[in-house]
Amino acid sequence: MPMIDVYARADLFPAGVDRQLAEELTVAVLRAEGVAQPGPVYLDNTAAYIHRMDPNAVHTATTGAARTVRVQVITPPAALSRDGQKQLVREITEIVTKLSGDPSQASRTWVLLTEAAEGGWGIAGTALGREEFAAAARAAASRANSSQ
């Protein structure tokens, strides 16, 4: 149930692509986590925030008003295997590049994978840790079995 932040100057992505960008990024991160057929709990609690910034607020060491994109992904601890990490960075970069309309955007796209502290994933007022996630997954599986 990751959270994704995209930071870029306001004109880097064309107007009106925000929803598509958010949808493609959220689905990509669920895929990388290995959630093949995400249920409502996953779909509702995986989200993207697109920060369109004043061009003068984005700089690299050498360039002002830079056409760079930073994507930060925060997951529960160890949600991504090494293969999942590689797949996610590759796919996010592809999505960003495609929607920016600039084939050279890949070389100016950073994807940073971060993790919440163990026990520190809060939903609906409860701080979830490994044990609680496992219990929730078991409960969902038993509900799915009993409804068949």
Partner 1 sequence: MPMIDVYAAAGTFANKHQLAAELATAVMTIEQAPNIPMFRKNTAAFVHDLPADSLSNVDGDITYVRVQVLTNAGALNRDKQLAVVSQLTQILAQAAADPTLVDRTWVLLTEAPDGGWGLKGHANTNEELVAAARAEIASLAAKPPTQS
Provide the mask over 104-143, with x wherever binding to partner 1 is found by CB under 8 A and - wherever it is not: ----------xxxx-xxxxxxxxx-x--------------
Note whether 94 binds partner 1 by CB under 8 A: no
How many residues interact with partner 1 (rule CB under 8 A)? Answer: 36
Note whether 47 binds partner 1 by CB under 8 A: yes
Of 144, 121, 127, the residue nearest 40 (C-alpha): 144
Please state, in angstroms and rounded to a whole number, the distance separating the CA atoms of residues 19 and 25: 10
Note whether 55 binds partner 1 by CB under 8 A: no
- Nearest approach in angstroms of CB 103 to partner 1 is 25
Q: For binding to partner 1 (CB under 8 A), which residues are involved?
A: 3, 18-19, 22-23, 26-27, 30, 38, 40, 42-52, 74, 114-117, 119-127, 129
